[in-house]
Structure 1
Amino acid sequence: MNGLSKSFGSVRAVDNLSFTVEPRSVTGFLGPNGAGKTTTLRMLLGLETPDTGRATFDGKTYTQLAEPVRTVGAVLETAFHPARSGRNHLRVYCRAAGLPTSRADEVLGQVGLADAGDRRAGGYSLGMRQRLALATALLGDPSVLVLDEPANGLDPEGIQWLRGFLQHLAHVEGRTILVSSHLLAEMEQTTDRVVIIGAGKLVREGSIAELRAGADGAGTVLARSPEAHRLAEVLRADGHPVQSEDGDSLTVTGIATADVGRYAFGANIELHELRSVSNGLEDIYFRLTAGQEQYAATAPAAATPQEETR
């Protein structure tokens, strides 16, 4: 994607967005609600026309692909005729795409719905519908998959299955996968790289290790001391950002644990705890996207003593 922008009236949904999805990998596409993720995916799939910029597959837009179904498989939403069986739903798509109807049985087996193929889709659980949508995307045996929240409705076993399935598709079968999700802990385990956007703009992209290094510098250190306030002053005086300070503890970023210890020793400050903190994707994500939520709720007010006794 190169320089993608899209506005709806006065709302700038996507703003000069550029990033590359690496081949043979799983790339997570992350951002708060209203960040522009779905609009970006719709432009990628030719469902929205960008105001500026291009979204391409090996240099071609989706509408320029000779056989799109054999190049790109997509899941943006789940929609099925409730009276049609899962197998017949897939056969309809096979006929429309000029594919042999035998592909319906093959992809049902791939997504674990072989025994449920003759059941009506209207009786499927949300997780089963997600699997059927994924089966639909796989019908053309595409080299690229674009998936919007494919884990919605899956139980823990289903999420674990999806993780292994996507990694197999990318690392063993060589497909390129772009997947959006709000399940940050799962994205950390599933993806090779992530792209984070906020307010329609690129915030950060890279592997989890690269994001952690970029967000934390040399790392994040937790220190506990009865003189935490004085230690914070010493660190700040030398240009080290103290991320938070609460009572007898503080965290400081961009510095090694041993260096914090040396600052404490040099200032004759007693330490009760000193350790590095390994920030996961969730911590990094919230730090990078702070203040970019579309709907930010205020924290509830603390209960008064009278309210607590009612």
Structure 2
Amino acid sequence: MVERAWTLKDKAVLITGATNGIGKVTAHRLAAQGAHVTIVSRNAEKCRAVADEIRSQTGAVVDWIAADLSVLAGIEEAAAEYRARNDRLHVLINNAGAFFAERLVTADGYEMTFALNHLNYFLLTLRLRDLLLASAPARIINVSSDAHYGGVIDFDDIMGERKYSGWRAYSQSKLANVMFTYSLARQLDGTGVTANALHPGFVATGFGRNNSGWVGLFMPIVHLFALKPEKGAETSVYLASSPAVSGVSGKYFANCREKPSSKRSYDVAAQEKLWALSEQLTLKTVPAPSSAP
């Protein structure tokens, strides 16, 4: 049943990677609908500036948290800071991510693409899950990519230690986003909290420009043919704000419409294996705030 009463007015929204690109546009549009928005990004000065900008343009309540979401400590810090300031969360948008042409390793010893693009989504969501449950109806939105269609979860070399390709690592992480979403949706069934993933399109943002070499040189040219951030943000905004998707969960969207994801993404055994591995890699020391539903 469609919940026609769904509105973002006075609802609490948390969005990561929101100081530029589709994340910033999404934060602005949701704030303009009356949401209380908290943005998360690594650079404190950018966070403050973007929050001030959105606040001045919309008159909405806009808060910010500076945290490095590529490392477990940063994710824990972001979740703890949000919890310290808020007792509710209606919409969580996991948007932060990047492409790395060369293999980098985080302070935790994990390959950077998998850590930032997947483990970040996984751990932040689990750390805030009890707030989402207490605020239900609530929505979890995971920004993935059609790059996942070519992705394979290589459980034998998930960190790319034996063989690394930037595109292979990226497509694997985006497939992980979709599989995580489907696992999460099953766990949350009947709770009033939904989980969906989306493809924003190839958007002209800072994507890929963090790289040196040919990738860094090539990306500005490719971006000439990419979507504007305003267009790329449409599906994120739709999933956060539309009454039409109330109760819709465990789906993949593009252009504000549901569509099938890759055949691999529906492998329940692989989804459960990925979940177990993600728990092993992220929940090693600190127990979650509450048990799973």
TM-score (norm 1): 0.28
Structure with bigger helix share is 2
Q: Max radius of gyration: which structure?
A: 1
More strand by share: 1
TM-score normalized by the length of structure 2? 0.29
